[in-house]
Amino acid sequence: MKRNKVILSIVAIFFGLLVLGSCSAVTTYNGLVGEQTKVEQAQADVSTALQRRSDLIGNLVESVKGQMNHETEVFTKIADARAKIGSSSVTSEENQKAQGELSSALSRLISLTENYPELKSNQNVEQLMVELSGSENRIFVARKDYNKVAAEYNQKFRSFPTVLFANMMNFKEAETFKETEEAKTVPKVDFGTSSSSQ
């Protein structure tokens, strides 16, 4: 009789640990899924902001191209960067680099428009520039928000014992946005003043 009680106690303890372990695994899994969903949503917000900028750039380029037709280099850089971004074969890192190239070329285009008074007085171009500036701010905020939720997810992912469970369930760390080489260098703006002064 005493032996049966000991066996029952051992079985009850084992069963209790099994239930506790299962509950812990479910909680951990659901927590990772929740954090991963936040990362995916933040990534979608960044993509939406980037798509809006891409659409605005296309309209801006078409609006100023006729009056700035000799500025082919900047238009070529914008077109090349947009083509890379639109390609389905680019990696996340290549896409980030192309976004940096596009931002650099766009900064150059905006600087060049200062040389064209007729563009500055064009309401359509002015409105597009304002919208583009707002779009750049949205991208900044969306990337910042994404990096925040990605860091929270990665912290949870890396914590022990979650990391063991996450690796077993094939969860991956979230990539964060980092500055590109283009962002580290100050864009050079040449208004052609050096050649006219010689």
Question: b/e for 101-128, b at 16 or more Cβ within 10 A?
Answer: bbbbbbbbbbebbeeeeebeebeebeeb
Q: Supply angle C-alpha 30, 32, 38, rounded to 5.
A: 105
Instruction: Tell me 185's DSSP state.
Output: S
- Give tens-digit pLDDT for 121-143: 677 777 877 888 888 888 889 99
Q: Mean pLDDT across the stretch 42-54? A: 87
- In 3D space, the residue among 142, 152, 141, 143 whose CA is nearest the CA of residue 174 turns out to be 152
Q: What one-character DSSP code corresponds to residue 187?
A: P
* Pairwise CA distance, residues 176 & 190, whole Å: 33
Query: Six-digit token pair at 70?
Result: 């000799």
Domains in the chain (CATH in brackets) are 1-178 (1.20.1440.20)
DSSP state of 125: H
pTM for the model: 0.65
Stronger pLDDT, 6 or 139, i.e. the higher one:
139
DSSP H or E stretch at residue 115: none
Where does the pLDDT of residue 183 fall: very low under 50, low under 70, confident under 90, or very high at 90 and above?
Answer: low
Q: Would you state the structure tokens that stand for residue 147, as one six-digit string?
A: 């990096």
Q: What are phi and psi of 121, to 5 degrees?
A: -90, -5
